Amino acid sequence: MVLFLLHVRQNDLAMSVHFSVPHENVLQLGLREGMKVGDFGAGTGHYARAAAAIVGGSGRVYAIDIQEDVLKHLKLNTHDHHHRTIETVWGDIEKAGGTHLKNESLDAAIIANVFFQVENRFGFLAELKRVLKPAGKLLVIDWAGSYGGLGPAPEKVVSEHEAEDFFIGGGFHKAKAFRAGAHHYGILFTAP
């Protein structure tokens, strides 16, 4: 287990610190004090903490992951002033009801470095649509390539165009695309 957490920390750190900057990317959502945000596949929480810094004590960030050990690590490494704002949720983001969140309860959702791992994309899409408020925002950040093994395996990479087509086909509206780091793309959508 220690080896697993060390591997997660190294990968999460490499993905977040060296290749994308969570606090800059989260600004694309236009979050405000008091909003509710879901970080789907939160990992060790770089994006959850960036969102928590904006939504403040009157807001809430749900850090959702299926790996309980990763959520425990997130809780241990969250600064005291974010503990009240970030709530860890053990759940399956790939099935309707799997996040245990209420219908239309989120102002925004973040999926960072996760979409390439999603196996049940339609279940994932259904859950996003269920928990986002109408016109809620969805931030998609993912690897633009494999980069010699720094990112996902080449066959697992989901291109920006493929991600865009998938979410638009699922009823989301593209607001904008942006460069999310040296090796990542970012797309901002609004929910139907």
Amino acid making up residue 18? H
Q: At what angle do helices 68-76 and 2-13 cross, to 10 degrees?
A: 70
When pLDDT is cut at 50, 70 and 90, the band that residue 14 belongs to is very low
Segment 16-40 mean pLDDT: 88
The beta strands (E) that lie in 31-172 are given as 36-40, 60-65, 86-90, 106-112, 132-143
Residue 149 pLDDT: 83
Q: Where residue 169 sits, what CATH number does that domain have?
A: 3.40.50.150
Quote the number of domains for the chain: 1
Q: Which of 22, 63, 25 is nearest to 42 (CA)?
A: 63
Q: What is the pLDDT of residue 161?
A: 98
Lowest-pLDDT range, 10-24, 111-125, 135-149?
A: 10-24
> Tokens 């999460």 — which residue?
12
pLDDT at 9: 36
Give me the domain span that covers residue 174: 2-190
Whether the pTM exceeds 0.95: the reply is no
